[in-house]
Amino acid sequence: MSAANLVRRIGGRWGSLVSQRGFSTTPTSIIENGAAAEQGVKSLNLYSAINQALHTALDSDPRSYVFGEDVSFGGVFRCTTGLADRFGKSRVFNTPLCEQGIIGFGIGLAAMGNRAIAEIQFADYIFPAFDQIVNEAAKFRYRSGNQFNCGGLTIRAPYGAVGHGGHYHSQSPEAFFCHVPGIKVVIPRSPRQAKGLLLSCIRDPNPVVFFEPKWLYRLAVEEVPEDDYMLPLSEAEVVRQGSDITLVGWGAQLSIMEQACLDAEKEGISCELIDLKTLIPWDKETVEASVKKTGRLLISHEAPVTGGFGAEISSSIVERCFSRLEAPVSRVCGLDTPFPLVFEPFYMPTKNKILDAIKSTVDY
């Protein structure tokens, strides 16, 4: 699968290597940092990068906990491998098979001043916990007049297509959570991003839903610093600079968009690619600045187009950049059907669908 190479390339060219203090989003400084910190960098896939982040989180804060279904033996995607052995069964443990229980428990644990890192086995199975997330975690601080909060809660869940997942092992439910003031939604595109963003989420004083692109767990390999570093939330990253059109995406879709940008370049179209990373609260300014420069916007995500987070981005940018737009905002997304097993290749927002949309937007 060519995504692997791409992700590797994204890592090599634009992946940010940022120490705990110095944040950076510009490609040049990242490359410098990368060269500077050759030591203590390891080639890791995405699940191992998550695993490292969890090791770091548990190691750096004795009041942090990792739990969820089948977490003890390493988790069905191996993200929690070795944690129970190293940090003990009281801090890393299996829960009963009950998502509402997992999140409710996590909220209580977090409300007492702990870092509760909860795993939902698949994003498709987060819905039994919807009430706890939407009505409880999201409003815990607000409803108490800031007397109480469950900011130590981080919910990790693998999301997205994987080639053979069908209805219930493929969904991208991020938009549901983006409609909920009080929680943050973060999605990494690569191993290095995953580690730095996850550590930020765990240490952020707000409840966060962190969706991990499961297609990339093994596929995406990148140089990841071994030390403790964080990447900023609510800061989008321009991973590729261009002048004709702005592309915005997140997670696994980013490498597909990157392929489309490369193909467009061959046809003389210069694309700017933005990784949004944090979906709420999102970095409108970075997207706005880019669209003001290019005059065109394309958004792409795997979730069904109707009511997807692309709609929110489109609407906000139209509000802010109406007079600068030279073409309608384009969305290349999943279709408005349940995620269909044998029709997955038809459902997906493929590179060529994006490429066609880039061309028609530029030619508008």
Catalytic center residues: 99, 169
Beta bridge partners of 217: none
Q: Which listed range, 8-16, 207-215, 240-248, 336-344, lies at the site for another protein (CB under 8 A)? A: 336-344
171 sits near ligand TPP (criterion: CB under 6 A): no
Q: Shortest Cβ distance from residue 7 to another protein (Å)? A: 20
119 sits near ligand TPP (criterion: CB under 6 A): no
302 sits near ligand TPP (criterion: CB under 6 A): no
Q: Which listed range, 8-16, 120-128, 292-300, 312-320, lies at the site for ligand TPP (CB under 6 A)? A: 120-128
Phi-psi region of 237 (alpha: psi -120 to 50; beta: other; left: phi over 0): beta
Q: Shortest Cβ distance from residue 99 to another protein (Å)? A: 8
Both tokens of 121, joined, read 């086995």
Q: Which listed range, 23-31, 121-129, 137-145, 188-196, lies at the site for ligand TPP (CB under 6 A)? A: 121-129
263 sits near another protein (criterion: CB under 8 A): no
C-beta neighbour count of 84 within 10 angstroms: 19
Given candidates 101, 128, 232, 295, which one binds ligand TPP under the rule CB under 6 A? 128
212 sits near another protein (criterion: CB under 8 A): no
108 sits near another protein (criterion: CB under 8 A): no
In whole angstroms, give the CA distance from residue 201 to residue 155. 9
* # binding residues, another protein (CB under 8 A): 42
Q: Are 182 and 138 contacting, i.e. CB atoms less than 8 angstroms apart?
A: yes
Which candidate, 38, 11, 53, 32, places its Cα nearest to that of 202?
A: 53
Given candidates 19, 27, 108, 125, which one binds ligand TPP under the rule CB under 6 A? 125
Cis bond leading into 232, ω under 30°? no
295 sits near another protein (criterion: CB under 8 A): no
β strands within the chain, DSSP E: 41-45, 64-68, 92-94, 115-119, 153-159, 184-186, 208-213, 221-225, 237-240, 245-249, 271-275, 278-280, 297-304, 330-334
Closest CB to ligand TPP: residue number: 125
Given candidates 119, 124, 174, 275, which one binds another protein under the rule CB under 8 A? 124
93 sits near ligand TPP (criterion: CB under 6 A): no
Q: Shortest Cβ distance from residue 127 to ligand TPP (Å)? A: 8
Q: Which is nearer to another protein, 23 or 93 (CB)?
A: 93
| Chain position carrying tokens 């290019």 | 294
Which candidate, 216, 239, 102, 215, places its Cα nearest to that of 163?
A: 215
181 sits near another protein (criterion: CB under 8 A): no
Residue 46 per-residue DSSP state = H
Q: Which is nearer to ligand TPP, 1 or 97 (CB)?
A: 97
Q: CB neighbours of 156 closer than 8 A, spacing ≥ 6?
A: 50, 68, 79, 117, 118, 119, 120, 198, 210, 212
Given candidates 47, 159, 217, 347, which one binds another protein under the rule CB under 8 A? 347
Residue 135 per-residue DSSP state = I
CB burial readout 205-220, b (16+ within 10 A) else e = ebbbbbbbbbbbbebb
Which candidate, 263, 237, 241, places its Cα nearest to that of 250?
A: 237
205 sits near another protein (criterion: CB under 8 A): no
Binding-site ranges for ligand TPP (CB under 6 A): 69, 97, 99, 121, 125, 128
Binding-site ranges for another protein (CB under 8 A): 69-70, 72-74, 76, 93-101, 124-125, 127-128, 164-169, 305-306, 335-338, 340-343, 345-347, 350, 352-353, 356
